[in-house]
Amino acid sequence: MSVWQPRCTSCPFIPFSYYSLYGHVGKLATEIQKGANSVEGVKAMLWQVPETLPDTVLEKMKAPPKPEDIPVIKPEQLPEADGFIFGFPSRFGMMGSQFLSFFDGMDDIWKSQKLAGKPAGIFWSTGYHGGGQENSALTAITQLAHHGIIFVPLGYTFGESMFEMGEVKGGSSYGAGTYAGDGSREPTDLELKQAFYQGKQVATVAKRLNAIAI
């Protein structure tokens, strides 16, 4: 999981690129990876986007250290993939600046349109109901559109669980999600199951498209 490995031409490769400050997005990412790898012939790996905050600020925010076994991805590695799933926390109703900075570093890739036609899903974490559960997804879709990436929404394919009203559940038809609250709330079993399902769904789409391209 910590190295960029060559793959067979018939096996879709999907990097899960995410940013997580307190670990909520990271936990969703782990379940999404499991879901993607449950699809036969798919290779899914976890990658972190670079941190942009200085260590002194992270210490004041009491942010835990980043996982050492998950490598940091560079934009130029993305064209090697057959599909993507991007995860990020919400900041004031939109994608966090760390992930925006990562997309800002993709100017050469955008000019060459090397990611055009490849599928991608998105997932996220917000503090509360009004923290961007929908708007964070919408602002992320604009990034995908400029690269010609095919957005793969969750839709309502997760079944009756999409209509769950008996408990708090993040996510929507755009993708999986969770609520962090003041930071103490952890992703629920239902949110993790939704994340697993999304990973499987995006991997299935990537596998189909990869088969057509070969």
Q: How does pLDDT run across 128-185, given as a tens digit for each residue?
A: 888 888 999 998 999 999 999 999 999 999 999 999 999 999 999 999 999 998 889 9
Let me know if 63 is exposed, middle or buried by CB neighbors in 10 A (0-12, 13-18, 19+).
Answer: middle
Amino acid code (one letter) for 206? A
Which domains does the chain show, CATH number per domain?
13-213 (3.40.50.360)
What confidence category does residue 11 fall into, taking pLDDT thresholds of 50, 70 and 90? low
Q: Residue 130: its pLDDT value, please? A: 80
Q: How far, in Å, CA of 206 to CA of 213, rounded? A: 10
Q: Residue 1: its pLDDT value, please? A: 25
Q: Residue 3: its pLDDT value, please? A: 28
Going by their DSSP bridges, the two strands 43-48 and 13-18 should be labelled as parallel
pTM: 0.91
Q: What is the CA radius of gyration of the chain?
A: 16
CB 207 within 8 A of CB 12: yes
Query: Average model confidence (pLDDT) for the chain?
Result: 90
Query: Over 60: is that where the pLDDT of 7 sits?
Result: no
How far apart, in Å, do the first and last CA atoms of the chain sit?
A: 26
**Cβ atoms < 10 Å from Cβ of 3:** 6
Task: Indicate the SS3 state at residue 16.
Answer: strand
Q: Residue 188: its pLDDT value, please? A: 96
Task: Indicate the SS3 state at residue 122.
Answer: strand
Q: How far, in Å, CA of 89 to CA of 40, rounded? A: 30
Query: Over 50: is that where the pLDDT of 210 sits?
Result: yes
Query: Over 80: is that where the pLDDT of 199 sits?
Result: yes
What confidence category does residue 187 fall into, taking pLDDT thresholds of 50, 70 and 90? very high
**Tens-digit pLDDT profile for residues 67-125:** 999 999 999 999 999 999 999 999 888 899 999 999 999 999 999 999 999 999 999 99
Burial 18-37 (b: 16+ CB within 10 A, else e): bbbbebbbbbbbbbbbebbb
